[in-house]
Structure 1
Amino acid sequence: MNLARRLHHLIGDPDQRNSFSSRRRSLRFQELLRRFPDLRSMRVLDLGGTPEFWRSAPVAPAYVTTVNLDPKYDPDESWLDHVVADACEQATLGKTPGDYDLVVSNSLIEHVGGYQRRRDFAEVVRAAAPAHWVQTPNRYFPVEPHYVAPGFQFLPVRTRARLVSRWPLAHERVYTVEDALAQVLTIDLVSTAELRHLFPGSDIWHERLGGLSKSIVAVKA
C-alpha cells in the first residue's frame, strides 16, 4: 500500500478500527447512547447505513432495518434486515409509520442530491418514527471530510474536479477530470442553518474538534 492510501486509511476510513474517522464515529455513538439510553430495546430504521455498522456497534438495538441503494447486503441475523431503496422516497421503504421507534442516519443527507431531495429525505425521517438522529459533516468545518482537504468545499466545482484527480487522500480514486466532476457533484455539505430548517423542533448537537463544529446532528428524542 502506498503512502497516500495508508494515510487515507489512518485518517478517513471509518471501517478501519484505529483510524481517526473510526474514533470520531465511536464518540458520536456514545452521544447517541446518551440521547437514547433505551436503544437496546428500540426498533431502528437506518437510512444510508449498513448491517456491518450495527454488528460492530457497542449496543445492538432490538431490531434494525438498514436502507440504501447497495444490493450486496443480505444479513443472516434475525434482528437485522436490509432494504434496497431510495431513502428519499417513502413509498419504497416497505414499512409503514409506527414500525420504528428511531430513525438513524449518518453522513447521508449531504449525498442525496440537492435541496428538494434533502427536503424529501427529511419528510421520510419524520414520518418513519417519532425520534431521529440525523448526522452530517458541517459545511463550515475548515477541512472537507471526504477528501481531507482544507477549504475544498468552497472551491469552484471545476477546480475541485481538477484537484480530485490528483489529490492523494481522496476517498475514491478517479483518473479523469470528467469522472472527478461526477464524483464531487455527489457531495453537497449542509450547514447548521439548513439542518435546523429541514428539522424544525429538533435539537442541533455539534460534534466539536479543537473547539470547532466538525459535524452536526439533528436530534429528536
Structure 2
Amino acid sequence: MRRLLVESPTSLGARARLRRWDLFRANFPDVTEMSVLDLGGTVESWQRAPVTPRRVTVLNLFEPGESRDDSVVPVAGDACAARSALESAGSDTSFDLVFSNSLLEHVGGHARRVDLAREIDALAPRHWVQTPYRYFPVEPHWLFPGMQFAPTKARVAIARHWPLVHTRPKTYEGARSSVLWTELVGVTEMQAYFPSSTILRERLAGLPKSLIAVR
C-alpha cells in the first residue's frame, strides 16, 4: 500500500515530488548555473533529480552517499553547524543557494532549528527550505491521520505497528527515537526562522501539505 501511495514512480508521492521540482525551477530558473548546498539530502537524490545545478555539495549528518562525478560533492556533518563541518572537510563555505527538503523537522527542537536557519542565512543569499506542515490531517512520515497530535506513547505504537511505515523500527527504543526526533512546524514558526523569506504552501486536495521558505 505504501508503494502505491509514495514509492511507485506513478504514486501520489512521486507526482508531488515532480510538482515540487517544477515549483523549484520556477523560483530559481538559473539553477543550472548555481553552486548549491543541500543540507540533509543525499547524493543519490541529485543523481535522480530532474534539475542539474553547476555544482552541488551534499551535507548530511549520516552517510550522504558516494558521487560518480565531481559536480556532486558529499560531506558528512551536522547541518546545524554547517560552516564548521564544511571548513573541517576543506569544502567551500559560500554558495549561491542553500537547498533543504524535509530536514527542519528532524534536527532536534526549537533551538536547533534556530541554529539551522542561522547557518542557511549565512551560507547563501538564496534558499529553498521545505518541511511538512504540522496541521495537514495526515502525518507524512507514517501516513497516519492526526498522529502528530497524539501522545508520545501512542505515536511510538503507531511507528512500531502501522503497516504504511516505510522502515519499521525493530525495537521499542528505535521507534521512540524516530518519534521524538520528528517535530512538525507551522507557518508562524517558519516565518520566525526565515523572516526575510516568502513562505509558500504546497497543497494537496486544496489543503496545505508542506511549507517552503524561499528567498
Taking structure 1 as the reference length, what is the TM-score of the superposition?
0.91
Is 1:71 the counterpart of 2:66? The answer is: no
The 1:27/1:202 distance shift into structure 2, 3 A limit, reads same
- Runs of 4+ aligned residues of structure 1 deviating over 4 Å after TM superposition are none
User: Which residue of the other structure, out of 135, 146, 152, is the alignment partner of 2:147?
Assistant: 152
> Which residue does the alignment assign to 2:6?
12
Map 1:43-54; keep pairs closer than 5 Å.
43-54=35-46
C-alpha distance in 2 between matches for 1:138 and 1:26: 18
Bigger shift: 205-214 or 88-97?
88-97
**TM-score normalised to the size of structure 2?**
0.93
Instruction: Name structure 2 gaps, 5 residues minimum.
Output: none
User: Number of paired residues?
Assistant: 211
| Cα 1:57/1:163, change in 2 over 3 Å | closer
Find the counterpart in structure 1 of residue 50 from structure 2: 58
Q: Could you say what secondary structure the match of 1:132 adopts? A: strand
For residue 207 of structure 1, what is the aligned residue in structure 2? 202
Residues 37-186 of structure 1: matches in 2 within 5 Å?
37-71=29-63, 73-89=65-81, 90-94=83-87, 95=91, 97=93, 99-186=94-181
Q: Which has more helix, going by share of residues?
A: 2
Candidates 15, 36, 40, aligned match of 1:23? 15
What amino acid is the match of 1:101? Answer: D
Identity over the aligned pairs, expressed in percent?
Answer: 45
Find the aligned partners of 1:191 and 1:72 in 2 and give their Cα distance: 28
When residues 128 and 18 of structure 1 are mapped into structure 2, their CA distance, relative to the original with a 3 A threshold, is same
List runs of 5+ in structure 1 lacking aligned partners.
1-6
